[in-house]
């Protein structure tokens, strides 16, 4: 087996790849789906309170609001523009701080605090913004807050925001589309058109072709998984652990793609195989969407063993040591698939 011939085949596939709808699908679709899900579910189910602000005198309240991570602050030039934005529900509430507001509060006066609420804002957001504003006014006046808030987390912290629980679906989809679809469709199409047979008449060997196809799927799978995680804002401070988990996931996806290519005689059979087995591959994501379900069931599916380390590192901030056991099972599955692939490939002669 020649590495130079393998690299030449890989370069050829990279150059011709953009001509294939499946290749373009692998590049575009994960991004589109991520943006749609983040736009709908991220904004609909987990909205941050949006506060519009007009500050006529560089108030300390403005500085304090800018440091609050849980509130989205939007500055407007005047009160008229602010009221229009509140009425059209561009923001949940609008606050107007007139010149000299802080000085009047510190002098013991009772200046007018103009706080407007949108009729379409959530009651919870109104409460958050009202309590926060009043608390900041008290801080300007030098008065202690009337209550002390202690945040206590009950349970095991399994309940995550819906947008975070959808990340495994998005990452797994990116890996499967690039690793499984691109690899399998590329091989089956070349076999159908006779390109593969013509190629094998040359000094190129079958393992070199399979390695080149695998390299294409692997590169594309890792790239799109990283892009998906970046779009979701969950690239962590432990890139080594995350990259290793993504590599293992990409390798398993490519191996599944090779299995599909070997078992499917033509494109029609490949479509049938994908429709039949993809539910089996995607099944683990259901248990992230419904964390109250028995989680041991997810471990029956092979994709769980690389998907869970990705989830734990990217979403929960786990270290490589914490996910090493699960990741080793995924590596073992990848290694176990190698002789199976070799036997099937030799028997089917691709």
* Owning domain of residue 57: 47-141
Largest CA distance in the chain: 93
Residues of the chain with pLDDT under 50: 43-45, 147-158
Query: Within this chain, do residues 241 and 166 fall inside the same structural domain, yes or no?
Result: yes
Alpha helices by DSSP H, listed for 142-238, are 162-165, 167-175, 183-193, 195-201, 206-231
For residue 146, tell me if it sits in a domain: no
- The CATH number covering residue 113 comes to 3.40.1710.10
Angstrom distance (rounded) from CA 247 to CA 133: 48
Helix (H), strand (E) at residue 331: helix 320-348
Spatial contact of 61 and 137, defined as CB atoms under 8 Å apart: yes
Give tens-digit pLDDT for 113-160.
889 988 877 777 788 888 888 888 888 888 765 544 444 443 444 456
Query: Within this chain, do residues 198 and 228 fall inside the same structural domain, yes or no?
Result: yes
Give tens-digit pLDDT for 238-282.
889 999 999 999 999 999 999 999 888 888 888 888 888 888 999
Query: Within this chain, do residues 249 and 315 fall inside the same structural domain, yes or no?
Result: yes
Query: Within this chain, do residues 132 and 242 fall inside the same structural domain, yes or no?
Result: no
Domain boundary among 141, 171, 195: 141
Angstrom distance (rounded) from CA 52 to CA 81: 10
Query: Within this chain, do residues 169 and 283 fall inside the same structural domain, yes or no?
Result: yes
Query: Within this chain, do residues 236 and 265 fall inside the same structural domain, yes or no?
Result: yes
What local confidence, expressed as pLDDT, does residue 321 receive?
93
Query: Within this chain, do residues 133 and 256 fall inside the same structural domain, yes or no?
Result: no
Query: Within this chain, do residues 216 and 317 fall inside the same structural domain, yes or no?
Result: yes
Q: What is the number of structural domains in the chain?
A: 2
Spatial contact of 120 and 126, defined as CB atoms under 8 Å apart: no
For residue 32, tell me if it sits in a domain: yes
């Amino acid at each position: 087996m020649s590495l130079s011939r393998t690299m030449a085949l890989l370069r050829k596939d990279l150059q011709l790849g953009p001509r294939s709808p499946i290749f373009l699908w692998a590049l575009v679709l994960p991004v589109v789906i991520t943006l749609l899900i983040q736009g709908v579910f991220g904004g609909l189910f987990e909205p941050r309170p949006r506060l519009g602000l007009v500050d006529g005198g560089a108030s300390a309240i403005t500085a304090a609001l800018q440091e609050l991570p849980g509130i989205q602050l939007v500055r407007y030039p005047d009160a008229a523009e602010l009221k229009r934005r509140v009425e059209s529900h561009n923001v949940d509430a609008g606050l107007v701080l007139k010149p000299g507001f802080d000085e009047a509060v510190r002098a013991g006066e009772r200046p007018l605090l103009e706080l407007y609420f949108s009729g379409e804002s959530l009651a919870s957001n109104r409460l958050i913004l009202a309590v926060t504003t009043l608390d900041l006014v008290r801080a300007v006046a030098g008065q202690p807050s009337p209550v002390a808030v202690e945040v206590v987390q009950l349970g095991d912290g399994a309940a995550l925001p819906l947008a975070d629980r959808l990340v495994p679906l998005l990452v797994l989809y990116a890996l499967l589309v690039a690793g499984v679809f691109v690899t399998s469709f590329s091989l089956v199409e070349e076999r159908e058109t006779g390109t593969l047979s013509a190629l094998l008449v040359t000094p190129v060997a079958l393992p070199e072709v399979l390695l080149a196809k695998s390299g294409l799927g692997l590169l594309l799978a890792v790239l799109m998984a990283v892009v998906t995680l970046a779009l979701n804002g969950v690239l962590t401070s432990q890139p080594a652990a995350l990259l290793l988990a993504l590599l293992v996931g990409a390798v398993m996806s490519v191996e599944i793609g090779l299995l599909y290519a070997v078992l499917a005689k033509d494109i029609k059979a490949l479509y049938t195989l994908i429709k039949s087995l993809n539910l089996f591959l995607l099944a683990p994501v259901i248990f992230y969407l419904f964390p109250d379900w028995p989680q041991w069931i997810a471990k029956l599916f092979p994709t769980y063993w690389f998907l869970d380390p990705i989830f734990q590192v990217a979403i929960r901030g786990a270290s490589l040591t914490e996910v090493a056991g699960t990741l080793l099972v995924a590596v073992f599955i990848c290694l176990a698939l190698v002789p199976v692939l070799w036997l099937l490939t030799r028997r089917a002669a691709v």
